[in-house]
Amino acid sequence: MICLLALIVFGFLGIFSLKYRVIALEALDCVFRRVTLRKCDTGLDQRLKSQITGNLMRRNPGVGRFMFKHFEVISWFFTILLVLSLAQSGLGIYNFVAYGNCNGKGSDEFCIFDPLSTRNNQDSSTQLLTQCTVEGVEANPENLIKPEIGASARFGNKDAKVTIIEFGCYTCPYTKQAEGVYEKIRNDFGDETLFIYKNYPINTHNNSYQAAIAAECVRIDKPSEFWAYHKALLENEGELTNNTIISLVEQTTSVDIDSFNLCFSEGHTENLVKKDIRAGEKSFIYGTPTLFINDEALVGPKTYREIKKIIELELKK
């Protein structure tokens, strides 16, 4: 059994070094002989057994003796462990290729194949999740229901096969973090998708609701300039005051500031924001951003690769 273990381990190491390749070939010969009910005559099994046991004996004779006596059983144990690990790794690779995430669709768990992903930054992601969670709603992705498109902000082709609906909050750092990826998705997929943004201001956040009203005011006046203002609001996520909200309109849009001030101060677009919130409640949104790609729901910021994979799968359907 040690030969099978050696074949797997040294076979992998052999990719990088000729030295290990020679041992792997020896192990292969040994495994082949055992499979064909012959004795392994390379001596590799004895060599490995004596080296492992001998090194243990030098440090702790008792442990060495235990290893010697139960070498075959221990070899089996590690072989099974290795095979299971390899199977798990294989599944991870499959998930990564198929869904852009080695833990399966929409998972927020650590993924070693994607070390730069935000999901791997556990400390900040825990903090962000706390900050962007809706109180009183069970955090259960199973409950999420795709909303109607409604009259919310949109980008792309209204007849597109794939509809992407985002629930976001302008004062949520998580929504801010995801925006870069979403913007690239909008740009790269263009008319292949219809991207909808729905306001879901977290009720514990200051100025989140006002920012949503302001964004809708810009959209009502100049729909084509909504996305630039939307981006500007998120870029200033930590510093949103009424003054910032107004000055960003001046900096990023050609909207008439007087008519904007009127819209903003009198809350002309509040009904649009409330409609989005109601849609969010019906969809059991428990945190922002939440993304629906057709019926597929993703909570929290995901990598571009992950979202792209899902869109491509939906486009192929």
State the residues that interact with other proteins by CB under 8 A: 43, 46-47, 49-55, 57-58, 61, 64-65, 68-69
Nearest residue (CB) to other proteins, 49 versus 231:
49
CB of 76 to other proteins, least distance (A): 18
CB of 30 to other proteins, least distance (A): 13
How far is residue 162 from each of residues 54, 193, 264, measured CA to CA in Å? Answer: 63, 5, 33
Nearest residue (CB) to other proteins, 53 versus 207:
53
CB of 37 to other proteins, least distance (A): 18
CB atoms within 10 A of CB 170: 28
The neighbouring-strand residues paired with 167 are 198, 290
CB of 58 to other proteins, least distance (A): 5
Nearest residue (CB) to other proteins, 64 versus 267:
64
* Closest alpha carbon to 210 in 238, 241, 176: 241
Nearest residue (CB) to other proteins, 61 versus 90:
61
Nearest residue (CB) to other proteins, 43 versus 190:
43
CB of 65 to other proteins, least distance (A): 6
Ramachandran region, residue 100 (left: φ > 0; alpha: ψ -120 to 50; beta: rest): left
Residue 145 phi, psi (nearest 5): -125, 135
| For residue 289, cis peptide bond before it (omega within 30 degrees of 0) | yes
* Closest alpha carbon to 226 in 301, 289, 155: 155
Nearest residue (CB) to other proteins, 69 versus 282:
69
**Distance separating alpha carbons of residues 35 and 189, to the nearest angstrom:** 53
CB of 3 to other proteins, least distance (A): 14
**What is the C-alpha R_g of the chain?**
28
